[in-house]
A and B are shown apart, each in its own frame.
Chain A
């Protein structure tokens, strides 16, 4: 990945953070932490890795994404709006009665959303089904899925973890957003999910662990995942919950938090200052 590409992605990621925070800030409350920890992976997918068609969101040859930690919807909505799937103004309708942008991802309401999620633990199985269907239909599509670290405590995740290698789904690339936090506390204190790499490897997945905020590492890892043949891939992302928003960053309380005008202002100026540095 060239320096220019990296800079382009960093600029996009900043824009995604700003739009996500404005959207949640407009409503006044939302899942800030888990939305901000996946900004880089989403940015990398939608501005580099994935083939998508904003004018024909259900284009059969598109790549798919299942955002299994569906409460992070607002981050994905920001990107979809920036990509032109729907008008930017929609971002200010988050959770308003009758909205097309509900807190948790809904495939029937929002153009560009491939699967309905929000009940944790279900998305990876759905991604397995989508990957199986793509293979039946002989599509070149890659199916991506993003699960949470707290979400990884659901038993169904590990059922899907057995299914995907069994069916040799090498068109499936999953990410774990390992931000080390869930609602009640730190993941290590509530229900430890380590050793996570060893677990996924033992289940038969091509497994990597990287800094989830680093585009060069994302690029390398996704390339390696694509190379892996005959097995699905898990890329564990070490991330920081609430990254880029001082009121939220690295705080358990950022999970579903009120975002005041002051918090928003502070975050926007921090993000703008970071832009100057880059």
Chain B
């Protein structure tokens, strides 16, 4: 196994900060979790741990941005969304600043921290903010590339970031563009549109299961949830005639909601959505939660077969 996602996040920030003295890091007593301690050691004068006060952190990041800095502020995705929503909405986005808000431990990856820490709504909330960019990398290669793209992008970003564990779905040096999804596997019968560290590999496994049943499934890594890659979604809706979205989030409001809204207007297509269905979070192991919320490859494959049958 390679480096943890958070190590890649931190190394990339250090690399960026070596060349750009506007880059700074804010934490709210979760520096050990986000993994940015090496950044704080390299750039102590550009690191601000404000303690357990997320709203204050986002307000402070907004002020830094107003003076031209590029702040990356992090907390668990629950607190980086619900707890700071108004501060992020107004002080950062409405004020047209350049704040990068990082939400870690998305959805079921909160495992033992349970319902209070399990974000199934952060993407939905963030999608309501005009012009915000929402990014969720699926592996360490896309993480490094996308963190750089996020830093280059002029405007606020919500970066939904898996932190523990490592995986490589892309060859090193693959290029990524914000707003452009990646076709990981082509297919003709159904398209699985997934986001993030948990669901992209789950969708790839589902595609293999479907192949065994004679169904050809395309898999798209939709690393940028907003702005959504409308061209790609519509092209694959036309090509395969069936879409299943896969997200570690509620089926309402997030990736599934975004794709459904787009297709309803542009190209009505049979659809299914994988994710938490109108439920709160809870404690449990990762495997328990993956199965309990029916986000596993088998559930995705079943959903895909049902959607295809509806034709």
List chain A positions with a Cβ less than 8 A from chain B. Answer: 27, 29-30, 70, 95-99, 102-104, 106, 116-121, 150-151, 153-155, 182-184, 187, 190-191
Contact = CB atoms under 8 A, between A and B. Distances in A.
Q: 10 smallest A-B Cβ distances: which pairs?
A: A191-B51, A118-B116, A97-B284, A97-B288, A153-B51, A102-B283, A102-B114, A153-B52, A95-B283, A95-B112
Contacts of A184: 27, 29-32, 49
A230 B55 CA distance: 32
A97 B285 contact: yes
Contacts of A190: 29, 49, 51
B284 A95 contact: yes
B83 A29 contact: no
A123 B112 CA distance: 20
A99 B284 CA distance: 8
Contacts of B33: 183
A122 B56 CA distance: 15
A155 B56 CA distance: 8
Chain A interface, >50% SS class: loop
Contacts of B284: 95-99
Interface in B100-119: 112-117
B283 A121 contact: no
B114 A154 contact: no
A155 B288 CA distance: 35
Given A103-B283, A184-B27, A190-B29, 18 more contacts: A29-B112, A96-B283, A96-B284, A97-B285, A97-B288, A97-B289, A98-B284, A102-B282, A104-B113, A106-B115, A119-B78, A119-B79, A155-B53, A183-B32, A184-B30, A187-B51, A190-B49, A191-B49
Nearest to B37: A184
Interface of B: 27, 29-33, 49-53, 55-56, 78-79, 82-83, 112-117, 282-285, 288-289, 292
Nearest to B55: A155
Contact of B117 (A97, A118, A150, A183): A118
A97 B116 contact: no
A118 B114 CA distance: 9
B51 A182 contact: yes
> Which one of A27, A121, A183 has the greatest number of beta carbons of chain B within 10 Å?
A183
A190 B50 CA distance: 7
A30 B53 CA distance: 23
A71 to B, nearest CB: 8
A99 B27 CA distance: 32
Contacts of A182: 29, 51-52
A120 B52 contact: yes
Contacts of B53: 153-155, 191
A172 B42 CA distance: 46
B109 to A, nearest CB: 14
Given A97-B292, A155-B55, A191-B50, A102 B29 contact: no
B274 to A, nearest CB: 19
> Which one of A96, A106, A190 has the greatest number of beta carbons of chain B within 10 Å?
A190
